[in-house]
Amino acid sequence: MINFTLGKNNLDGLILKLKELDKDKTWTVKVSPYKSTRSLEQNSYWWKLLTEWQLYYSNLKNVKESNSFVPNIDEWNEYFKDKYLTEKKPFGKKIIVIQKSTKDLKLNDMGEFLDTVKNFMYNKGFIFNEEEI
């Protein structure tokens, strides 16, 4: 499988990649407009942030003393998507709820989402050590 972002200056690179394909196999090639979705670095950052937040939250004194439910990382992921990436839209006489996925966010939108979540965490006393990334 080849993932390739084609621009005006790298057509030759794509041609070289295509020439490297096994000629005894049949291949499907799909070309579509580029969509600047969140980066792999942003995604990695997101999951590290959630990991550190989950550890911080589970060690809070009031959470430990009350034996409160401590969400796991996937549950925190859903919580923040529900809190910040959910839209309510009219659909006839009903209201439907649409939750975006972080994988569908554009680069800038993912940056804003991360900043919003970090601000939420900061207000709860959590400071993410970004130097450890």
> How confident is the model at residue 32, as a pLDDT?
78
In order along its 133 residues, the chain shows pLDDT tens digits of 777 778 888 888 888 889 988 999 999 988 877 777 888 899 999 999 999 999 999 888 877 788 778 899 999 999 999 999 999 999 999 999 999 999 989 999 999 999 999 999 999 999 988 765 5
23: DSSP letter? T
CB atoms near residue 39 (< 10 Å): 12
Local structure of 123: helix, strand or coil:
helix
pLDDT of residue 122: 95
Burial status of residue 117 (CB atoms within 10 A of its CB: 0-12, 13-18, 19 or more): buried
Q: What pLDDT shows up at residue 77?
A: 96
What pLDDT is attached to residue 30? Answer: 85
Query: Would you state the pLDDT for residue 131?
Result: 60
Q: Which neighbouring-strand residues pair with 96?
A: 89
Q: Can you give the pLDDT at residue 112?
A: 95
CB 106 within 8 A of CB 36: yes
Could you identify the residue written with the tokens 């939750």?
Answer: 99
